[in-house]
């Protein structure tokens, strides 16, 4: 492998990324968000929909904190727990009463001014938090025991994305993919209601799952069971059972992975911990750049999510870095591919170091190796070699991940050839996600071809010895590192506008979620010790 010094100021780049991650992460841990409060209620046992068909945890939080940043700063946990003690009910039943308007958490919060009653509420809230952590730990133990019992697949794991949107059909597809040799079944999580409503206000419609009873489908008594999306908590539970059964039959563990949309990180992490999801895509910087989410909101959400995922034992996937064009739009001139690759690398490194800061260990942090748009540029092989080389130099202890572009796109034509070119340089590859159309028979051939490519790459690297970029690849690598250093220096000096190309807040209007993130005013934390997970 190329020495770090040959590629440019790698050490300087890593230092800048760690410094920014440390500063942003420290502030993020001081903040709470609407997403975090919903996630905490989910941890306490609030699930499903209210009687009007709205997500129950979200409705409870909305009723308590809407237009009240002071209440958001204090959090929903203590008022909710105070009401639990007052009415001697379950979290689910209380949430239904709050959602219907029968219980006002604002009134229940008044008891917290009494020192003795507050102490009792805190004890009860810590008990709820401890029960949630026990459930997370039990799932972590179950994963390890199952791995010991049936064995694990060799790395790199071969993945495929589930096509079926409905859980019942998705469970059958997931099982078929696992039997075809797929090691990681990747599931797209549908947009949460907050994202759908915020985008609707911006004039953008997002498909939102609205369940309908299916004729002839499963029933409980005389009532039909409404179908669930594959990426919902109930859907993932069905997929988990199906994939575990297939894994036992094939005698090799099969993983579930989730990919969420913006604003969903806290809830996605809790669902992953409760339903034993093995791999979770959690890319805070991409959410800011590509998802148009307020930086403070995204950073706070992912800080919470990383803590839960670290405890659960899940593997976290950070993508190859977003496509940053804000500076180009501001000056009216496009940048070259190397500059854009450097920006992507810079922001990816910050995302990786943020996850590490919040407790995710290096071995469980998959790092995207290739920005997909780069394959469409001139000289894709040299560019890809450069990107793999600089990531391996900057993050030597992290397994790399490769994801095939969607079939039919220009990038998909050359991707397989480029993959075969860079695998000998990649060293420890963690996962290769192949394009899937839901055809398990065709996927079996794809899995076999991928395993053959990785075996040949391993033999090649072992036969040739250290492989180092030269010529065009070395030029691109050095240019990428230099552009990445410049990007982080500008962010350190000028903040987010230096890459987003616009003020973060204009005319009193912020990016997505800006009105639902505040610094905590309440020191109480029901999840104290959440990072104290076994490594």
Q: Domain ranges in the chain?
A: 4-28+153-207+226-252+254-508, 45-129
The mean pLDDT of 278-298, rounded to a whole number, is 95
pTM of the model: 0.92
Could you tell me which of 151, 161, 154 has the C-alpha nearest to residue 250? 151
* Integer angstrom CA distances of residue 426 from 103, 467, 526: 57, 10, 41
- β-pairing verdict for 255-259 and 365-368: unpaired
Quick check: 437 pLDDT over 90?
no
Orientation of helix 115-150 relative to helix 34-44, angle to 10°? 80
Q: What's the pLDDT at 441?
A: 86
More confident residue, 414 or 346: 346
The mean pLDDT of 465-490, rounded to a whole number, is 94
Containing 157, the helix (H) or strand (E) segment is strand 157-161
Quick check: 222 pLDDT over 50?
no
Angle at 467 between CA 5 and CA 319, to 5 degrees: 75
Q: What's the pLDDT at 89?
A: 95
Q: What's the pLDDT at 485?
A: 98
CATH of 4-28+153-207+226-252+254-508, one of 3.20.20.410, 3.40.50.300, 2.40.50.140, 3.20.20.440: 3.20.20.440
More confident residue, 506 or 285: 285
Query: Could you please report the per-residue DSSP string of 475-500?
Result: HHHHHHHHHHHHHHHHHHHH-THHHH
> In angstroms, rounded to a whole number, what is the distance separating the alpha carbons of residues 426 and 390?
10
Segment 177-217, tens digit of pLDDT: 999 999 999 999 999 999 988 888 887 877 655 555 444 44
Q: What's the pLDDT at 31?
A: 96
Instruction: Determine the straight-line distance between the first and last CA of the chain, rounded to whole angstroms.
Output: 28
Segment 271-283, tens digit of pLDDT: 999 999 999 999 9
* pLDDT grade for 309, boundaries at 50, 70 and 90: very high
Q: What's the pLDDT at 53?
A: 86
Token reading at 61: 């939080």
Quick check: 64 pLDDT over 50?
yes
Quick check: 534 pLDDT over 70?
no
More confident residue, 365 or 66: 365
What percent of the chain is predicted at pLDDT more than 90?
A: 76
């Amino acid at each position: 492998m190329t020495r770090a010094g040959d590629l440019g100021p790698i050490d300087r780049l890593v230092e800048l990324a760690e410094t920014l991650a440390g500063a942003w992460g420290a502030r993020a841990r001081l903040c709470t968000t609407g997403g975090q409060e919903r996630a905490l209620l989910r941890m306490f046992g609030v699930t499903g929909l209210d009687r009007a068909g709205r997500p129950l945890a979200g409705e409870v939080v909305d009723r308590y904190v809407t237009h009240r940043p002071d209440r958001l700063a204090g959090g929903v946990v203590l008022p909710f727990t105070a009401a639990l003690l007052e009415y001697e009910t379950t979290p689910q039943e209380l949430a239904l009463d709050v959602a219907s308007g029968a219980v006002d958490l604002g009134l229940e919060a008044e008891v917290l001014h009494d020192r003795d009653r507050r102490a009792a509420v805190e004890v009860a809230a810590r008990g709820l938090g401890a029960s949630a952590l026990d459930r997370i730990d039990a799932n972590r133990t179950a994963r390890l025991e199952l791995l010991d019992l049936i064995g694990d697949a060799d790395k790199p794991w071969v993945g495929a994305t589930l096509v079926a949107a409905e859980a019942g059909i998705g469970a059958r597809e997931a099982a078929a993919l696992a039997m075809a040799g797929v090691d990681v079944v990747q599931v797209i999580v549908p947009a949460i209601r907050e994202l759908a409503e915020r985008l609707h206000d911006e004039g953008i419609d997002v498909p939102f799952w609205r369940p309908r009873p299916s004729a002839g489908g499963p029933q409980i008594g005389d009532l039909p069971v409404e179908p669930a999306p594959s990426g919902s908590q109930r859907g993932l539970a069905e997929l988990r059972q199906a994939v575990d059964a297939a894994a036992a039959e094939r005698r090799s563990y099969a993983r579930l992975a989730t990919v969420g949309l913006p604003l969903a990180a806290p809830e996605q992490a809790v669902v992953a911990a409760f339903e034993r999801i093995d791999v979770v895509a959690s890319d805070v910087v991409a959410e800011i750049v590509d998802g148009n989410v307020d930086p403070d909101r995204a950073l706070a959400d992912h800080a919470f999510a990383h803590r839960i995922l670290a405890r659960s034992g899940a593997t976290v996937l950070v993508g190859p870095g977003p496509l940053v064009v804000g500076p180009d739009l501001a000056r009216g001139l496009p940048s070259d591919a190397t500059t854009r690759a450097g920006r992507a690398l810079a922001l990816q490194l910050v995302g990786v170091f943020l996850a590490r800061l919040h407790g995710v260990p290096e071995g469980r942090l998959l790092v995207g190796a290739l920005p997909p748009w780069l394959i469409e540029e001139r000289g894709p092989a040299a560019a890809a070699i450069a990107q793999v080389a600089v990531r391996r130099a900057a993050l030597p202890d992290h397994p790399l991940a490769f994801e095939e572009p969607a079939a039919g796109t220009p990038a998909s034509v050359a991707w397989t050839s480029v993959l075969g070119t860079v695998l000998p340089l990649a060293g420890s590859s963690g996962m290769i996600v192949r394009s899937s159309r839901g055809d398990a028979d065709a996927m079996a051939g794809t899995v076999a071809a991928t395993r053959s490519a990785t075996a040949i790459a391993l033999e090649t690297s072992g036969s040739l010895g250290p492989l180092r970029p030269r010529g065009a690849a070395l030029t691109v690598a050095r240019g990428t590192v230099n552009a990445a250093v410049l990007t982080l220096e500008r962010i350190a000096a000028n903040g987010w506008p230096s890459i987003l190309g616009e003020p973060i807040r204009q005319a009193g209007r912020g990016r997505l979620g800006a009105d639902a993130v505040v610094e905590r005013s309440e020191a109480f934390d029901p999840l104290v010790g959440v990072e104290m997970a076994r490594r």
